Structure 1
Amino acid sequence: METQTDIHFYRIAEAIEYIQRNFKAQPQLDEVAEQIHLSSYHFQRLFTEWAGVSPKKFLQYITLAYAKKMLKEQQATLFETALDSGLSGTGRLHDLFINIEGMTPGEYKKGGEALSINYSFAECPFGTLLVASTAKGICHIAFADDAQEALSELKAMFPNAHYQQMVDMQQQNVLYIFTHDWNQLHQIKLHLKGTDFQLKVWETLLKIPKGQLASYGSIAKQISRPKASRAVGTAIGDNPVAYLIPCHRVIQSSGVFGGYHWGSVRKTAMIGWEAAQTDQFNV
């Protein structure tokens, strides 16, 4: 016997399939809702609860993925890409890339060719870090257990950028978080790209105080997506700035620490170290 949950799942799966199949026609909310026999209001609410994003935003992601493939693999012009993606012109293509990717279609096509990235390796209490920055702020931090592999992963994100191994003031400010009182640190600027949902999750992680923990469910509630714990977990796993955006402070509601992109042992060490640091300041 099918439960209401099963029915909702099949309806959303059908809606996703319809959007994927017809994205070039840029279907409106009413059209998709009609396909699964729901009112626009109930479809919007149900889809957002299950997918973690609105139907409109999901359509934008599908369209963007196709546009990126055209620009990269087929070397299509911006005009050709816009029209074949179902957009009315290059202006809408430009807005789509700016809103989601944080760069213009031309910049994406060039693979960050105009971008200058400084990077350096540094030691912290939890191993070697690779820290990278642009003129706008910190764009990447990762634990570099294998330095060459970590550098290759960074360069894969911006394959045509200009890289220079050097330490700048932004990187130095980041490293101070391991040796200074956080309340006394200079403001650290971040230069990140991500979806609206990812950025919202990462922003929420920054609000978790040092020495404290939060659950995936509590993060989902804070961003007004109480049923999107799984999507929250995915966004946390995609965190491009290790430690500074403290995804290590998010654990399962059962109290189990759970996995971590850079190793569960490292996550446990971080949580313990921060708890000790907090106790020291409270003495």
Structure 2
Amino acid sequence: MNQMTALAPPSPLPPDDDACWDAFLRRDRAFDGRFVGCVTSTGIYCKPSCAARHPRRENMRFLPDGAAARAAGYRACLRCRPDELGRDRLAVERAVALIEAAEEMPSLEALAAQVGYAPHHFHRLFSRATGATPAAYARALRAGRLKAALEKENNVTDAIYAAGYAAPSRAYADARAHLGMTPSAWKEGGRGVTIRWKVADSSLGPMLVAATDKGLCRISFGEGEADLRAAFPQADLRPADAALDRLAGAITALVDDPAAAPDLPLDVGGTAFQQAVWAALRAIPAGETRSYAQLAAAVGRPAAVRAAGTACGDNRLAVLIPCHRILRSDGGLGGYAWGLERKRALLDREKEES
């Protein structure tokens, strides 16, 4: 999978006016920090999620941020305090940069002090913006470096220390959480890992369903044993047992009843950013869609639209992690690893059910 993409500066331009107004009507927190709404009749500017009563559409204009609004003669809303969001976002961006540059994870207290917040408040702020605590973010980042090092170094020990670990024990713990297997198993194409699999019939065609003893590791349309073997060439691939049959039954049923959203065990590795994107995808209700820009904003990275799209492409659990619910900003289908016809069919079914 792709390594974690560094936070980029926020886009200097807000979305188009119609998208901004729609976000205000929904009080959509995912758009907070991407623009502000200025009320011409009161001279106040607010963030999109402001709980105040909505003004008339003709009394609204949209600007990139509070600085632009103040330059235009508006003052900040005392109810939603839109400028504090900008400060929060900058603090998170600064903290991410510090974590990425550090050889060892700084303590929460040290990190919070460097960005000017109390530790308990910053912990909540960082978690809300990134979908992970500072410590979990650092572990996922280091696990991503371990994955890259395993592909370059000649042996596992060299890779562990090249990734910044002080001891193998922490590397093995992180690898099980983020790679789904030990560093040795990952480097050797899944050696020592047992994967049960089957190709199940679904109303949208054959589905490959595969799982380790921890949970589902691959769900895909139109793939078979050769594709699974290419992903894990040294894994012990075995036919489905009763447990895998039950999982496969739940997945094929989900194709016909997308609103079911079963709580199934997963075993997929990813960076902190990828995991945040996948969690945001699972939070989208059946029958609704989001744009790539909205998805990026939902995980606190409004400028990382392309990275959010890449995380969708890295999803290997079709339907269960519903990347088919993401469209282009113009309403176009965008991409889908398992074919646009299937994406259209899934969306049509969800609309019928909603």
Same fold (TM over 0.5): yes
Question: How far apart in 1 are the matches of 2:274 and 2:141?
Answer: 16
Mapping of residues 111-260 of structure 1, within 5 Å:
111-144=189-222, 147=223, 150-166=224-240, 168-180=245-257, 182-183=259-260, 187-260=263-336
Residue matched to 1:103: 181
d(CA) in 2 for partners of 1:95 and 1:162?
22
The count of residues paired between Structure 1 and Structure 2 equals 237
Q: Which runs of 5+ in 1 are unaligned?
A: 7-15, 30-39, 43-48, 279-283
Structure 2: distance between partners of 1:198 and 1:211 = 23
1:249-282: CA deviations, max 9, x gaps? 100122112121112222122212221233xxxx
Any idea what SS the aligned residue of 1:233 has? helix
The Cα shift of 1:236 comes to 0.5
Report which of the two has the higher share of helix.
Answer: 1
Task: Give the alignment's Cα RMSD to 1 decimal.
Answer: 3.8
Measure, in 2, the Cα distance between the counterparts of 1:198 and 1:101: 12
Taking structure 1 as the reference length, the TM-score comes to 0.68
In structure 2, what residue type is equivalent to 1:142? S
Shift of 1:90: 2.3
| Alignment gaps of 5+ in structure 2 | 1-9, 13-96, 107-113, 117-128
Task: Indicate how the Cα distance of structure 1 residues 5 and 196 shifts in structure 2: closer, same or farther if over 3 A, else same.
Answer: closer
User: 1:5-27, CA deviations, whole angstroms, 9 ceiling, x for partnerless residues?
Assistant: 89xxxxxxxxx9xx9xxx9x949
Query: Is contact 1:133-1:171 (8 Å) kept?
Result: no
Find the residue that maps to 1:131 and give its secondary structure: strand
CA deviations on 1:77-126 (whole Å, 9 max, x unpaired) are 52x43345554332453355345424332332343233222211122222
Q: Percent same amino acid among aligned pairs?
A: 32
Looking at structure 2, the residues matched to 139 and 99 of structure 1 have their Cα atoms a distance apart, in angstroms, of 13
Judge which range, 214-223 or 117-126, deviates more.
Answer: 117-126
Do the aligned partners of 2:146 and 2:160 also contact (CA within 8 Å) in 1? no
- The CA distance in 2 between the partners of 1:178 and 1:28, in whole Å, is 42
Q: TM-score, normalised by structure 2?
A: 0.56
Is the alpha carbon distance of 1:155 and 1:234 closer, same or farther for their aligned partners in structure 2, counting shifts above 3 Å?
same
Q: 1:57 to 1:254 in 2, by over 3 A?
A: farther
Aligned equivalents of 1:126, 1:276: Cα separation in 2: 16
Q: For the residues of structure 2 that align with 1:119 and 1:58, how far apart are their CA atoms? A: 27
- The AA in structure 1 aligned to 2:252 is L
Q: In structure 2, what is the Cα distance between the partners aligned to 1:211 and 1:5? A: 29
Structure number with bigger Rg: 2
Q: Give the Cα separation in 2 of the matches to 1:186 and 1:65.
A: 30
Code of the residue aligned with 1:68 in structure 2: it is L
Q: Helix, strand or coil for the counterpart of 1:132?
A: strand
For residues 62-73 of structure 1, the aligned pairs below 5 Å read: 63-70=145-152
CA distance 1:121–1:100, change in 2 (3 Å): closer
Look up the SS of the partner of 1:127 in the other structure.
Answer: coil
Name the counterpart of 2:62: none
SS of 1:187's partner is coil
